[in-house]
Chains A and B, each alone.
Chain A
């Protein structure tokens, strides 16, 4: 079984993004949201900042890096403000201007329409941009190209310093890169980061400046990479340190290397079984699950501690072990069962992350316990013995007696805790999905800073138009775009982007084509239109030729965009999922600040375009998360109910069940109150931690309230000793997580470590046994 587990693990895929905490069976809108978070346009952006040195050095670095990265297929686009010769973009727009321009209508090409448009263009010649129009006029006297360029240039752009983008304060040179790989492809994102780093290192190698230039990177893909690396390295360190600490503890207690190695056997089995079953079931193992897994050593090691320390130490080893199996195992088994019942509830969670933790715990604990019960006793060598700990045990049992006198203070403590928890009940839970993010606050600050400097789209507000074909979606998108343009004109939006800007629906293209008069007709109209204008119709002959060429051309298809930067934009905004098409229209807030959600919604309602949805991605993802938070709370409660039912069933005495549950409930309440007092808002992983307190603590409570069987003495000093050491081992395992900088790991650590200590103390304090 161990071998099988190893094989499975060696083929496992490990991940560390937030996807584990997104629902597994979402609605269409949630699916879209998730796709956007994982693979959408925004997920592919890497924002690069260069700081240090002086402005011109930074700009020069930016240009060198951009130049080299532009030829790297890992990047779809590299922008740093340089006016790149996007010849293909220009020719796509220019050659297809009569199909793309919104101004093209039958009226536009009437005599009056032409007159107005040409007269406008001549006015433009008098303007600062006049010399551009001058060369365009013979081909484009109606100004379609300028109209298109204006539409493309919409939105805030960062400022230029020495020809490259820089933040508003001028201290950071900025680049915006789009990777070919999706944001959720962490390996590819890591490689992309490596490319950027290498180019920077190459370019900055010979620069001597004070301070030396430094490279900053941020973006969803970068976050995934950092998160995975952080979790990986922290899990590794925590795993090693906690293993060493627990080993030292056990060595100090057992004074036997054999005992130590054998004691770790159930732990190893548990971890392997846990990872293997998660890998088999989910196909992917989340980094958080691994982190959690290392902490679970602390609990799995308890079983062997119970076996080694609670066995009688008479001459007859075999008989001692039989006696342990007969007398102690039922209690341990019940402890394992309560844990399993508690965690099994999580298997039902819609959050793959939670379900993974649940499965990992169930599989791991069962494997570890089974190993302890069925394999370990027969592996113990005949002369196996550990140090006699009876003396220490006696001391502990005296403390346990003393503990009972603390009942009233304990009751008061629990009472106070309840009050505190009640007082905080409104803001006890953090309902922001971002709270789960493994990205450190410093990295998030950097992200905000670079984004603000860039004026980069945060893709928070998106209008989604869905339908069953590309054509339907595009033509509905055009209708929505009209409404949105109205909002832009009213200053409620700064701009919006839309696939239909680059690829109009076929119907619209046909309508525009139909607006173009026949060559003979156009010539007649043009001659009439230029009357009174300072331009001869003969100068505008290229216009006639171009219009005629457009009339004989086929309509624009998606692949006509190939090779332009607009192809990428269309790919990002026009999505197909089987029969389901959707078009995303990202909105950019006006310069004054925020988007007025009510007014945008009202305008969209008024437009009454079918299957249109106005999504606030942030609010939506938080709503999603709080939904699953509610679910997790309910599932945990279900788990607790399952534990209570189990205890009632096995102990066959409500009183005894209450005696087992009371210390656990007291520990959970006290920990919650403590966290609330320290201002920690609870996230979903705190909840798992609370569940763990119940799972682990149930062992202690059960030992303090033993099932009295014939031939079983009262709680022995050895039992006390084993409990204390099991407890210390658990605290070592989980306590280290509290020092992690990954919020989800830290949450588990700060909950479980104090929780299990309290569970042990409360178990002693509230012990029912007459002792």
Chain B
């Protein structure tokens, strides 16, 4: 079971997204990025996700929409190849697939909770929360920044090698996850008007 949840949560990290624009300064560091991200209260975007998996000859692709409401609600609605939805609401993870609903609690799985919180932390611009579990580093400019998160704890390192998030202003463009087992995924995010 724990495997399954871990997997689900790993995918959730690809939820990180989106936000309406607010103007920012020309100099750009971690604090400014975080402040900028914190200004976004909600967002709506479309995504295309490609997963490279060792046992498959070519990456599998899925697409759908993302919704974010500050500070702690994330929804990933996959439309292709199969309609599915995954909602992270506070510490609850609600997965709906094949007409069934599964509700999971993050707090039963502290390392996963830390993992998900870090993703959410990025969206919310919560540097403290992020630095509890990750070593953060930023490169690039306000118009093209690249945030990298490296896990601090061994438990986390067994699951994930690195998470790389790129964007401009307070908008996310891509999320790239490299898993410990060599598989990886890339999610490309395109903002949509907030519904």
Please list the residues of chain A having a beta carbon within 8 angstroms of any beta carbon in chain B.
81-83, 85, 122-132, 134-135, 137-138, 150, 153-154, 157, 159-164, 534-536, 539
Residues of A within 8 Å of B8, CB to CB, are 128-129, 131-132
Residues of A within 8 Å of B62, CB to CB, are 126-127
A534 adjacent to B105 (CB under 8 Å): no
Listed by A's residue number, 14 A-B pairs whose Cβ atoms lie within 8 Å are: A122-B56, A126-B51, A126-B78, A127-B62, A127-B97, A128-B97, A129-B4, A129-B7, A129-B95, A130-B60, A159-B103, A160-B104, A162-B105, A534-B58
Q: How large is the interface on B (under 10, 10 to 19, 20 to 34, 35 or more residues)?
A: 35 or more
Residues of A within 8 Å of B98, CB to CB, are 150
Q: 4 shortest A-B CB distances, which residue pairs?
A: A131-B7, A160-B105, A163-B108, A126-B62
B7 adjacent to A163 (CB under 8 Å): no
A160 adjacent to B97 (CB under 8 Å): no
| CB-CB under 8 A for A160 and B3, given A126-B60, A153-B100 | no
| CB-CB under 8 A for A126 and B81, given A131-B7, A137-B55 | yes
CB of B107 within 8 Å of the partner chain: yes
A128 adjacent to B55 (CB under 8 Å): no
A125 adjacent to B95 (CB under 8 Å): no
CB of B57 within 8 Å of the partner chain: yes
How far is B56's CA from A374's CA once the two chains are assembled, in angstroms?
A: 100
How far is B57's CA from A129's CA once the two chains are assembled, in angstroms?
A: 20
Residues of B within 8 Å of A134, CB to CB, are 7, 53, 55, 183
A132 adjacent to B3 (CB under 8 Å): yes
B82 adjacent to A135 (CB under 8 Å): no
**B41-75 vs A: 1/0 string, CB under 8 Å?**
00000000101010111101110000000000000
B60 adjacent to A128 (CB under 8 Å): no
CB of B152 within 8 Å of the partner chain: no
A128 adjacent to B86 (CB under 8 Å): yes
Rounded to whole Å, the gap between the CB of B92 and the closest CB of chain A is: 7
B149-192 interface (Cβ within 8 A of A): 183
Residues of A within 8 Å of B60, CB to CB, are 122-123, 125-126, 130, 534
Interface SS of chain B: helix, strand, loop or mixed? mixed
A138 adjacent to B105 (CB under 8 Å): no
Residues of B within 8 Å of A83, CB to CB, are 1-2, 5, 108
Residues of B within 8 Å of A122, CB to CB, are 56, 60
Rounded to whole Å, the gap between the CB of B101 and the closest CB of chain A is: 9
Rounded to whole Å, the gap between the CB of A387 and the closest CB of chain B is: 77
Q: Given contact pairs A83-B1, A128-B86, A130-B60, enumerate 7 new A-B contacts (beta carbons under 8 Å).
A: A82-B108, A125-B56, A127-B84, A129-B7, A131-B10, A163-B105, A163-B107
| CB-CB under 8 A for A132 and B53, given A160-B104, A162-B107 | no
A127 adjacent to B105 (CB under 8 Å): no
Rounded to whole Å, the gap between the CB of B135 and the closest CB of chain A is: 24
Rounded to whole Å, the gap between the CB of A601 and the closest CB of chain B is: 25
Q: Which residue of A lies closest to B105 (CB)?
A: A160
Rounded to whole Å, the gap between the CB of A163 and the closest CB of chain B is: 4
How far is B53's CA from A138's CA once the two chains are assembled, in angstroms?
A: 13
B103 touches which one: A128, A160, A162, A164 (CB < 8 A)?
A: A160
**B74-100 vs A: 1/0 string, CB under 8 Å?**
001010011010100001100101101
Residues of A within 8 Å of B49, CB to CB, are 126
A154 touches which one: B2, B12, B100, B104 (CB < 8 A)?
A: B100
How far is B107's CA from A159's CA once the two chains are assembled, in angstroms?
A: 13
Residues of B within 8 Å of A154, CB to CB, are 100
How far is B52's CA from A134's CA once the two chains are assembled, in angstroms?
A: 11
Of B58, B62, B105, most buried by chain A (CB within 10 Å of CB) is B105
Residues of B within 8 Å of A130, CB to CB, are 7, 11, 51, 60
Rounded to whole Å, the gap between the CB of B53 and the closest CB of chain A is: 6
B55 adjacent to A539 (CB under 8 Å): yes
Q: Which residue of B lies closest to A83 (CB)?
A: B1
How far is B100's CA from A697's CA once the two chains are assembled, in angstroms?
A: 66
B97 adjacent to A129 (CB under 8 Å): yes
Rounded to whole Å, the gap between the CB of A30 and the closest CB of chain B is: 37
How far is B57's CA from A535's CA once the two chains are assembled, in angstroms?
A: 6
Q: Which residue of B lies closest to A86 (CB)?
A: B1
B102 adjacent to A153 (CB under 8 Å): yes
Q: Which residue of B lies closest to A491 (CB)?
A: B99
Q: Which residue of B lies closest to A124 (CB)?
A: B82
Residues of B within 8 Å of A125, CB to CB, are 51, 53, 56, 60
Residues of A within 8 Å of B7, CB to CB, are 129-132, 134
Residues of A within 8 Å of B6, CB to CB, are 131
A535 adjacent to B103 (CB under 8 Å): no
Residues of A within 8 Å of B81, CB to CB, are 123, 126-127
Q: Which residue of A lies closest to B78 (CB)?
A: A127
Q: Which residue of B lies closest to A149 (CB)?
A: B4
Rounded to whole Å, the gap between the CB of B32 and the closest CB of chain A is: 33
How far is B100's CA from A137's CA once the two chains are assembled, in angstroms?
A: 21
How far is B1's CA from A125's CA once the two chains are assembled, in angstroms?
A: 17
How far is B98's CA from A154's CA once the two chains are assembled, in angstroms?
A: 12
Q: Which residue of B lies closest to A122 (CB)?
A: B60
How far is B55's CA from A125's CA once the two chains are assembled, in angstroms?
A: 11
**B1-37 vs A: 1/0 string, CB under 8 Å?**
1111111101110000000000000000000000000
How far is B86's CA from A413's CA once the two chains are assembled, in angstroms?
A: 72
Residues of A within 8 Å of B12, CB to CB, are 128
| CB-CB under 8 A for A128 and B100, given A159-B92, A534-B58, A536-B57 | no
Rounded to whole Å, the gap between the CB of B130 and the closest CB of chain A is: 23
| CB-CB under 8 A for A132 and B105, given A125-B53, A138-B55, A535-B55 | no
| CB-CB under 8 A for A81 and B105, given A128-B95, A130-B11 | yes
Residues of A within 8 Å of B100, CB to CB, are 150, 153-154
Q: Which residue of B lies closest to A157 (CB)?
A: B103
How far is B11's CA from A134's CA once the two chains are assembled, in angstroms?
A: 13
Residues of B within 8 Å of A150, CB to CB, are 98, 100
B53 adjacent to A123 (CB under 8 Å): no
Residues of B within 8 Å of A127, CB to CB, are 62, 78, 81-82, 84, 97
A126 adjacent to B61 (CB under 8 Å): yes
| CB-CB under 8 A for A162 and B55, given A127-B97, A132-B7, A134-B183 | no
A128 adjacent to B3 (CB under 8 Å): no
Rounded to whole Å, the gap between the CB of B11 and the closest CB of chain A is: 5
Q: Which residue of A lies closest to B12 (CB)?
A: A128
Residues of B within 8 Å of A132, CB to CB, are 3-4, 7-8
Q: Which residue of B lies closest to A495 (CB)?
A: B100
How far is B54's CA from A536's CA once the two chains are assembled, in angstroms?
A: 11
How far is B3's CA from A135's CA once the two chains are assembled, in angstroms?
A: 10
Residues of A within 8 Å of B57, CB to CB, are 534-536
How far is B99's CA from A154's CA once the two chains are assembled, in angstroms?
A: 10
Of A131, A135, A137, A536, most buried by chain B (CB within 10 Å of CB) is A131
Q: Which residue of B lies closest to A166 (CB)?
A: B105
How far is B12's CA from A214's CA once the two chains are assembled, in angstroms?
A: 37
How far is B60's CA from A154's CA once the two chains are assembled, in angstroms?
A: 29
How far is B91's CA from A125's CA once the two chains are assembled, in angstroms?
A: 25
B124-140 interface (Cβ within 8 A of A): none
How far is B106's CA from A162's CA once the two chains are assembled, in angstroms?
A: 8
Q: Which residue of B lies closest to A488 (CB)?
A: B99
A128 adjacent to B78 (CB under 8 Å): yes
Q: Which residue of A lies closest to B56 (CB)?
A: A534
A128 adjacent to B84 (CB under 8 Å): yes
Of A129, A135, A161, most buried by chain B (CB within 10 Å of CB) is A129
Q: Which residue of A lies closest to B57 (CB)?
A: A534
Q: Which residue of B lies closest to A162 (CB)?
A: B107
Rounded to whole Å, the gap between the CB of A757 and the closest CB of chain B is: 61
Residues of A within 8 Å of B5, CB to CB, are 83
How far is B53's CA from A536's CA once the two chains are assembled, in angstroms?
A: 13
Residues of B within 8 Å of A124, CB to CB, are 82
How far is B8's CA from A138's CA once the two chains are assembled, in angstroms?
A: 19
Residues of B within 8 Å of A161, CB to CB, are 105
Rounded to whole Å, the gap between the CB of B58 and the closest CB of chain A is: 5
Of A127, A137, A160, most buried by chain B (CB within 10 Å of CB) is A127
Q: Which residue of B lies closest to A127 (CB)?
A: B84
How far is B91's CA from A137's CA once the two chains are assembled, in angstroms?
A: 30
Q: Which residue of A lies closest to B8 (CB)?
A: A128
Rounded to whole Å, the gap between the CB of B89 and the closest CB of chain A is: 11
Residues of A within 8 Å of B51, CB to CB, are 125-126, 130
